[in-house]
Amino acid sequence: MTTSEEIDIVIVGGGICGLATALALHRKGIGSIVLERSETLRATGAAIGVLPNGWRALHQLGLDSTLRSTAIPFQRALDIWVDKGVVRETYMSEGEARCIKRSDLIEALANELPSGTVRSGFQVLSVDVEKLSSNPVLQLSDGSLIKTKVLIGCDGANSVIAKFLSLTPLKLFSKCAVRGLTIYPNGHGFSPEFLRIRKDNHLVGRIPMDEKTVYWFTVMAGTQRDSGMPKDPISIRALTLSLTAGFSTEIVEMIQNSDLDSLSLTHLRYRAPWSLLLGNSRKGAVTVAGDAWHVMGPFLGQGGSAALEDAVVLARCLSKKAYRPHSNGSGLLLSEHKAREALDEYVKERRLRIVHLSSLTYLRGLLLVGDPSLLLRFMCIIILFVVFRDPLKHTRYDCGEL
């Protein structure tokens, strides 16, 4: 096998997780290369809610103050069941909760990386293992090969690296989500709160980001599988409007006036929490992080923050265990054997946290938008009450110092 290039650490995927991992490593003086299949960095999904645990991770990456200035805080969530006439108020967190533009987050992460770290337009097709060294070798879509000592898969839900690790296949929720931004040139006048309205088996959420911009999403039943789903923004908006026609004028107008460039439609999927408990997330010098490992539904708003936490913990484990100063004083030297131990430490440290978040997300999702039988509903409520009694515990998590 001929290799065209050899790189110590390769990260596949330039989304939140891949960029955050590269940045966390960079902050520790460790270089890496991020391979991103798109020609430019993507910020699909309009915006992202970040709760205190996510802000703690952003603080470790040195990005919290930059991003804080881009969005107003919110604390309260207001849940309205239109059909049942029920209104309930809940608190999202005891600390900082803000909804930031994904493009601001991606840009902030990318801007802090040394130039040349991100290689756009590089799609990884498969992973192989070199017989002699047992190091991973990546096959790229342009026919080239890259050999590496550590491979980190941050390539999202349909991860090639997760397949290499033989993680269990993803499961589909029976729902789709549309996300978008709406700009109100004269100000929206909404309270700084997370509003969630349920009607006719559909859910609409809205969070103000500043005085003029709101992030909204819908979780809708009855849409087709991936192949049949509309991809162009005008069709996505038309589909969303048709399914939310019975909502208030304020909501319908918000969708009608949305910024077309911000719209995206996604079929909701997850990796089963029980498989995360047992699955092997490290094979040789290869591991996964972010959605590639633990894609979960959006019902807790924690997938992105969990990806940031992964990045901090992974970089900490690698820098502590796998690197030592070069004897000639010129930077750090990677030990391949120690790197594998470092990846094991990362998986061990993250596993329970990931299982906790994924399980809570799954149960919340089942109650929020699923249609469980009475017995299943009762069981979900009992588990939530017994195992996840403190509803804000997951937001108090601290991934620790980089």
Interaction between residue 217 and ligand FAD (CB under 6 A): yes
Q: Is 45 one of the binding residues for ligand FAD (CB under 6 A)?
A: yes
* Of 69, 52, 73, nearest in space to 104 by CA: 69
Q: Does 64 bind ligand FAD (CB under 6 A)?
A: no
Q: Which of 98, 149, 179, 196 binds ligand FAD (CB under 6 A)?
A: 179
Take residue 320 and report the two structure tokens written for it. Answer: 């502590």
Residue 148 in the binding site for ligand FAD (CB under 6 A):
no
Sign of CA dihedral 121, 165, 114, 401: positive
CB 311 within 8 A of CB 17: yes
Q: Examine residue 220 and tell whether it contacts ligand FAD (CB under 6 A).
A: no
* Number of neighbouring beta carbons within 10 Å of residue 326: 10
DSSP code at position 322: I
Query: Which three-class secondary structure state does DSSP give residue 360?
Result: helix
Nearer to ligand FAD, 30 or 46 (CB): 46
37 versus 364: smaller Cβ distance to ligand FAD: 37
Beta carbon nearer to ligand FAD, 318 or 323: 318
Q: Is residue 177 a contact residue for ligand FAD (CB under 6 A)?
A: yes
Measured CA to CA, the distance from residue 139 to residue 147 in angstroms comes to 9
Per CB under 6 A, does 164 bind ligand FAD? no
Name the nearest CA neighbour of 308 among 38, 50, 88, 120: 50
137 binds ligand FAD (CB under 6 A): no
Which of 17/321 has CB closer to ligand FAD? 17
Q: Residue 203 interacts with ligand FAD (CB under 6 A)? A: no
Instruction: Measure Cα distances from 397 to 32, 51, 57, 135, 400 in Å.
Output: 27, 10, 10, 34, 9
CB atoms near residue 134 (< 10 Å): 11
Minimum CB distance to ligand FAD, residue 5 (Å): 15
Q: Segment contacting ligand FAD (CB under 6 A): 223-231, 236-244, 290-298, 316-324?
A: 290-298
**Of the two residues 12 and 285, which places its CB atom closer to ligand FAD in the complex?**
12
Q: How far is the CB of 399 from ligand FAD (least distance, A)?
A: 13
x/- track of binding to ligand FAD for residues 19-38 (CB under 6 A):
----------------xxxx
- The residue range among 60-68, 289-297, 331-339, 375-383 that interacts with ligand FAD, by the rule CB under 6 A, is 289-297
> Could you tell me if 163 and 157 are in contact, meaning their C-beta atoms sit under 8 angstroms apart?
no
- Positive or negative, the Cα torsion across 75, 17, 261, 117? positive
The residue (of 12 and 151) whose beta carbon lies closer to ligand FAD is: 12
Q: Is the distance from CB of 201 to CB of 305 less than 8 angstroms?
A: no
Is 48 a binding residue for ligand FAD by CB under 6 A? The answer is yes
> Sheet harboring 171-183: ordered strands across?
86-91, 76-81, 194-199, 202-208, 213-221, 171-183, 264-270
Q: Does 56 bind ligand FAD (CB under 6 A)?
A: no
Contact call for residue 290 and ligand FAD (CB under 6 A): yes
The dihedral sign for the CA sequence 293, 372, 174, 181: negative
b vs e for 140-162, b when ≥16 Cβ sit within 10 Å of the residue's Cβ? Answer: beeeebbbbbbbbbbbbbebbbb
Closer residue to ligand FAD (CB): 217 or 397: 217
Which of 53/135 has CB closer to ligand FAD?
Answer: 53
Q: Which stretch binds ligand FAD (CB under 6 A): 223-231, 232-240, 249-257, 304-312?
A: 304-312
Task: Answer yes or no whether residue 291 interacts with ligand FAD by CB under 6 A.
Answer: yes
Q: Which amino acid is at 254?
A: M
Nearer to ligand FAD, 124 or 380 (CB): 124
Q: Which residues bind ligand FAD (CB under 6 A)?
A: 12-18, 35-38, 42, 45, 48-49, 123-124, 154-156, 160, 177, 179, 217, 266, 268, 290-292, 298, 301-305, 307
